[in-house]
Copies of this chain bind each other. A is one copy, B any other.
Amino acid sequence: MINILPIPNTVSLVAGSSEGETPLNAFDGALLKAGIGNVNLLKISSIMPPKAELVPLPKLPMGALVPTAYGCIISDNPGELIAAAVSIAIPKDEELCGLIMEYSGKCSKREAEERVREMAKIGFEMRGWEIKKIESISVEHEVEKIGCAFAAAALWYK
């Protein structure tokens, strides 16, 4: 086998929300609040590699390509409550991978986080695997003009 894309071995849960003068500026602001505004997110579907460590977000080089699973919602309805959440189900069997689930919607952070935790549980049931624990993060935002709520599992290397 020639070299493949390197498989990440850490995962970090982050979340943030922001207003912005345009939808993309709100998204950019939410990424900045989450600590990953100055890197390039590569959207992935949504696996924590086996034995990856759950760590606080490391210092990422600016412009790095960061494999990331995320939930994100942007709204321009003033007064609306929006939320985003991400969960990771970590397997009992260390040879198996973890499962990342993301959700965003017009709801509270509590509701979003309950949903992603439930979704991770379902995903493990569908695999017939046992869960060691579920980690999760969420954020909510009340829209002033244009707002974004963003939650992510960022994969990285150590």
Min C-beta distance of A156 to chain B, whole Å: 8
The residue of chain B having its C-beta at the shortest distance from the C-beta of A158 within the complex is: B1
Other than the known A40-B45, A47-B63, what 9 A-B pairs have Cβ atoms closer than 8 Å?
A: A4-B65, A4-B157, A5-B65, A7-B61, A37-B127, A38-B47, A42-B65, A49-B62, A52-B63
Number of A positions contacting B (CB below 8 A) = 57
Q: Is the Cβ of A102 less than 8 Å from the Cβ of B32?
A: no
Q: Is the Cβ of A123 less than 8 Å from the Cβ of B42?
A: no
* Residues of chain B within 8 A of A155, CB atoms compared: 40
Chain A window 29-46, contacts with chain B (Cβ cutoff 8 Å), 1 for yes, 0 for no: 101100001111111111
Q: Is the Cβ of A62 less than 8 Å from the Cβ of B96?
A: yes
The residue of chain B having its C-beta at the shortest distance from the C-beta of A70 within the complex is: B45
Q: Is the Cβ of B52 less than 8 Å from the Cβ of A45?
A: no
In Å, the complex CA distance between A2 and B157 comes to 6
* Residues of chain B within 8 A of A21, CB atoms compared: 119, 122
Other-chain residue from B22, B41, B47, B52 in contact with A115 (beta carbon distance below 8 A) = B22
Min C-beta distance of A96 to chain B, whole Å: 7
Other-chain residue from B24, B67, B102 in contact with A102 (beta carbon distance below 8 A) = B24
Q: Is the Cβ of B5 less than 8 Å from the Cβ of A6?
A: yes
Other-chain residue from B27, B39, B67, B101 in contact with A42 (beta carbon distance below 8 A) = B67
Q: Does A142 count as interface, using CB distance less than 8 angstroms?
A: no
